[in-house]
A and B are shown apart, each in its own frame.
Chain A
Amino acid sequence: MAANKPRTSSFSRNVAVAPTSQVPGLKHGPNGTVFLSSGIADLDKILGGGFCLGSLVIIMEDPEAPHHMLLLRNFMSQGLVHKQPLFYASPAKEPRGFLGTLPNPVSSKDDKSRERDTEQEKNLRIAWQYKKYFEDQNLDSQKDGKVEYCNDFDLRRPLDRHALSGQCIDCVSLQDSPNLATLYDRCSTFLAQIPRFDGNITSAGRISIQSFSAPQCHFSEKEWDMLSFIRSLKSLVRSSNAVAVMTFPPTLVSPTVLKRWQHLADTLLSVRAVPDEDKDLAKLLTGYQDMLGLLNVHKVARINTQVPVILEATTYSMKLHKRRSLVLECLNQAPVDGSSGTSYATSGSCSVSSKTGALDF
């Protein structure tokens, strides 16, 4: 394509050929990047579109709560809904069992009945007409079978059988891998099957590795081997149309290896449990009782650009909307009671501040 032609001027623009039909589940981002959805609409918005193809997303787990599984589930389900090949590795003996816990997209029955109502109840037509301005793009009902970029997943309902059948799903148990070289080979084989064209991107793959340095894995003591694997995986993913999401427990690796791990990540997230019955936190934050946990965004992928992403807030609460879908909300400070004394430091930074409770509003 254009890359092989000699450039005549140093300012020639490399105009990429835009695909005539949009590939479902993928969308173009800035600087020639392509995004796929994390499966959580709020997270896509926070990250500026979703996960960037070619990037490595690392999620630091909280040993006290399995919230990282929620993120993984949505990520994997979204891939299956979009018929994207999926690779899943976990320390469990039977990783395939996890597929049974993946959530199903929210049924559109609710939305469809709402549409019928608009026709029937004409005296409410004005109200419904205004409603369309409030509905998010993603919540637009599936008219004409249009595939949404990010689905709303119902965590109470398992994924339909038909979504799993006929799909390219590769499951690997980390216990089975005698060394990381075999795991690397499996990933490499998986990625090789995703077609790659210089022009349009027609499909994308998802790699999901859960609890990478968990004690059940034979290699959990071999820190340099693990780092080497992550580096190699990152290079593999970078040169293919895929996104890799890896979770690991940060408390199980040494501090210096943890820092190297964090530097290796393109996008770095962490999840934290919210303690039950914490009176101080309940006073500090609104909606505390509904919170499952907290999500921190430490780093956002910067591919093909040098400009850092500075988010307005880096800590979000994880809640269940209508008890079924995962949503992320900014933390809102509760009205401060005049009689109470000090509160937590509100300008918590993720750098040199040594204060605990780094909640960043």
Chain B
Amino acid sequence: MMSSNSANNLLDEALGFNDECGGGGGGLLLLIEDRVETSGAFILHHLIKRRLSSPNRPNDVVVFLSFAHPFSHYDRILRKMGCNLGVQKENKRFVYYDMLNLNYPDGEKGAEDLLLSVYGKIQKTVELCSSREGYKNSTIMIDDISLMEVALCGSSNLVLDFLHYCYSLATQFDCLVIILNHEDVYSTVDVPSPLLQMEYLANIVIKAEPLATGLATDVHGQLTVLNKGICQGSGCSKSKIRNFHFRVKENCVEYFYPGSRT
């Protein structure tokens, strides 16, 4: 079982998440970008486990908005990684919102109303959690933003508004907002795309891409982590870019620099 004493892997180092610094809470937006060839969902799974497994923060909550997969999918995956989402759900530490079957027949107005109601629920959950003793951070996760756009009939403005609301909630209650989106969907768009706006807003951007040489069984792809640094009282830390390879397994992910294996 992961504990705060275990060695951080390359991803955790790049994110700057370690328990000494309070695990990277405080009003951060983390954007994960992936492509058809290389899925970035494993990063979400890793972060769910990180946020739920930390012994220093027993009251923190992960709010998960799923547009992509049903609960059983995440449950099975996290179970193999040593995290029981069913129990966490019962203990109200993992709050799962199933957005798969939501349809918006009433057009944009209906979509806006529904979105507001979803945001209201998230806000209540986070507020409630923050009032508990020993609260440190909450996490809001969205899997994934492009499906949210489809559910809202292409209204990227609504999606961006929602993200802004989540971001302000995050700043207010010291939350971490994690979103997954697809880079290749927007690469053909001429106008300033919603993705650019999200990249601008984000404090950390993780890109999952295939290797330039194609797919391989030993190396499933590469991650590029741009950490814009955290502004604290005395000044800002510099932004850093790290690049390394990864290999996804059932119970963990291996991260390593090109040409080396941990």
Contacts and interface: CB of A to CB of B under 8 A. Distances in A.
A349 B250 CA distance: 25
Interface string B72-106: 11001101001110110010000000001101010
A306 B215 CA distance: 16
Interface string A222-245: 011101100110011011000000
Contacts of A349: 210, 212-215
Contacts, number: 122
A256 B186 contact: yes
B189 A305 contact: no
Contacts of A351: 35, 37-38, 209-212, 214-215
A26 to B, nearest CB: 18
A32 B42 CA distance: 19
Contacts of B73: 303-304
Contacts of A254: 188
Interface stretch (B122-130, B146-154, B236-244): B146-154
A255 B188 contact: yes
Contacts of B77: 304-306
Contacts of A307: 248-250
Quick one: which of A11, A227, A314, A348 has the most chain B CB within 10 A?
Answer: A227
B39 interface: yes
A347 interface: yes
How many chain B residues sit at the interface, stated as a range, is 35 or more
A314 B249 CA distance: 21
A352 interface: yes
A256 B248 contact: no
Q: Is the interface of B mostly helix, strand, loop or mixed?
A: loop
A228 B150 contact: yes
A352 B215 CA distance: 11
Nearest to B147: A231
A27 interface: no
A350 B37 contact: yes
A299 interface: yes
Contacts of B196: none
B36 A224 contact: no
A7 B87 contact: yes
B21 interface: no
B232 interface: no
B153 A228 contact: yes
Given A263-B182, A302-B39, A310 B210 contact: no
Contacts of A299: 36-37
B217 interface: yes
B76 A305 contact: yes
Contact of B213 (A10, A32, A314, A347): A347
Interface string A324-361: 00000000000000000000000111111100000010
Given A10-B82, A235-B100, A310 B220 contact: yes
Given A256-B188, A298-B36, A310 B215 contact: yes
Nearest to A224: B154
Contacts of A260: 146, 150, 182, 185
Contacts of A304: 72-73, 76-77
A256 B103 CA distance: 22
Contacts of A268: 36
Contacts of B182: 259-260, 263
A31 interface: yes
B216 interface: yes
A145 interface: no
B47 interface: no
A347 B76 contact: no
B14 interface: no
B41 interface: yes
Contacts of A255: 188
Contact of A10 (B39, B69, B84, B210): B84
Contacts of B153: 224-225, 228
Interface of A: 6-7, 10-11, 14, 31-32, 181, 223-225, 227-228, 231-232, 235-236, 238-239, 254-256, 259-260, 262-264, 268, 298-299, 302-308, 310, 314, 347-353, 360
14 contacts: A224-B154, A231-B151, A260-B185, A262-B36, A298-B36, A304-B76, A307-B249, A307-B250, A308-B38, A349-B215, A350-B37, A351-B211, A352-B210, A352-B212
Interface of B: 35-39, 41-42, 45, 67, 69-70, 72-73, 76-77, 79, 82-84, 86-87, 90, 100-101, 103, 105, 146-147, 150-151, 153-154, 182, 184-189, 209-217, 220, 248-250
Given A224-B153, A259-B36, 12 more contacts: A10-B82, A31-B76, A225-B153, A228-B103, A238-B70, A259-B188, A260-B182, A263-B182, A263-B185, A307-B250, A348-B214, A351-B209
